[in-house]
């Protein structure tokens, strides 16, 4: 099963919890065991898994990467979004999560985040669920 999901980001850099959308896609697929692959087809966005209980964790991650990869740092790329390309490369465009008994096998505090680095924009991500 392949599902295309749309997401509207509202800030230049933002992490949006998409765990609920992934759980819904798994239920809709009817697949009880297999893998769920998430792919982001953008060069200035990514996806990651991290804590979903305390929003300060996400804020700290964003603050750290904004310092480590500043928006303006004499980049050669003419569009002015080199920092977004670098952050996207560091986070990566895809994740795979094991599903079993109709559930994502995430840890107690884990959530899946769409990572926007060049927003706000309308974005898409793909969810591919493979039985097995």
Rounded CA-CA distance 109/122 in Å is: 28
Report the CATH superfamily, name and number, of domain 2-131: YjbQ-like (2.60.120.460)
Task: Convert the pLDDT of each residue in 104-126 to its tens digit.
Answer: 999 999 999 999 999 999 999 99
Those residues whose C-beta lies under 8 Å from the C-beta of residue 79, and which sit 6 or more positions away, are none
Query: What per-residue confidence (pLDDT) applies to 78?
Result: 87
Query: What per-residue confidence (pLDDT) applies to 2?
Result: 96
Rounded alpha-carbon distances, angstroms, from residue 118 to 12, 35, 52, 55, 105: 5, 29, 22, 21, 30
Q: Which two tokens stand for residue 85?
A: 């390309």
Q: Which two tokens stand for residue 121?
A: 């924009």
Largest CA distance in the chain: 50
Q: Please, what is the average pLDDT of the chain?
A: 97
The residue behind tokens 């929003």 is 55
Q: Which two tokens stand for residue 67?
A: 């310092």
Q: What is the pTM of this model?
A: 0.96
Domain boundaries, the chain: 2-131
Task: Convert the pLDDT of each residue in 59-105 to its tens digit.
Answer: 999 999 999 999 999 999 989 999 999 999 999 999 999 999 999 99
Query: What per-residue confidence (pLDDT) applies to 95?
Result: 98
Q: Which two tokens stand for residue 113?
A: 């985040």
Task: Convert the pLDDT of each residue in 15-62 to its tens digit.
Answer: 999 999 999 999 999 999 999 999 999 999 999 999 999 999 999 999
């Amino acid at each position: 099963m392949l599902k295309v999901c749309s997401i509207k980001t509202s800030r230049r850099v933002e992490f949006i919890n998409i765990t609920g959308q992934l759980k819904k896609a798994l239920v809709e697929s009817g697949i009880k065991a297999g893998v769920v692959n998430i792919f982001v087809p953008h060069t200035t966005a990514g996806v990651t898994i991290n804590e979903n209980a305390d929003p300060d964790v996400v804020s700290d991650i964003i603050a750290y990467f904004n310092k480590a990869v500043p928006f303006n740092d004499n980049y050669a790329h003419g569009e002015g979004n080199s920092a977004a390309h670098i952050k996207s490369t560091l986070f990566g465009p895809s994740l795979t999560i094991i599903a079993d008994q109709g559930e994502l096998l995430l840890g107690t505090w884990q959530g899946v985040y769409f990572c926007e680095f060049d927003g706000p924009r309308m974005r898409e991500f793909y969810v591919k669920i493979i039985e097995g």
